[in-house]
Amino acid sequence: MRTLLLTLALSSACATPALAGAGPQRNFLNNCAGCHQMDGSGAPKAGIPDMRGVVGHFLRLPEGRNFLVQVPGTANSPLGHAETAALLNWMVRAYSPGQVPADFQPFTTAEVAQLRQQPVHDVPGTRASIVQRLQGLGLAIE
């Protein structure tokens, strides 16, 4: 009976196009939203950046793009590389659609796997230098 219910639940989920983003969204809820909040607002006073209208800017620079994978919350989550790539592709569009560059190439599984092997040691310093370069491009980011 349990198996039947599960099968029904899964098949109805797959049949509903509106739930296409359910995987990444659910993964964000379970692995990220505890700190970042489901609306991406974070807790800036506690050092958790507000992603809304901002996080897409990072995609303008290779080191900014890499940072979204290498930041500890992403790199150290229990999610697999493919799930993480899908999560990031969903996340930038969900929280920062207006800032995602038109020529954005989605994160790939191989890219995520490689970057996770190269942790960033000075997270605030790395972010500060990326933000400075983005501001140099005239983008509004703090």
From the CA atom positions of the chain, what is the Rg in Å? 16
116 contacts ligand HEC (rule: CB under 6 A): no
75 contacts ligand HEC (rule: CB under 6 A): no
Q: Residues 65, 69, 73, 79: is their CA dihedral positive or negative?
A: positive
Maximum Cα–Cα distance for the chain, whole Å? 60
59 contacts ligand HEC (rule: CB under 6 A): no
Q: Which position has the token pair 């797959």?
A: 14
112 contacts ligand HEC (rule: CB under 6 A): no
127 contacts ligand HEC (rule: CB under 6 A): yes
How far CA 54 is from CA of 42, 80, 97, 98, in Å, comes to 12, 25, 9, 9
Nearer to ligand HEC, 2 or 45 (CB): 45
Nearer to ligand HEC, 55 or 94 (CB): 55
Residue in 25, 37, 41, 77 binding ligand HEC, rule: CB under 6 A: 77
Nearer to ligand HEC, 93 or 127 (CB): 127
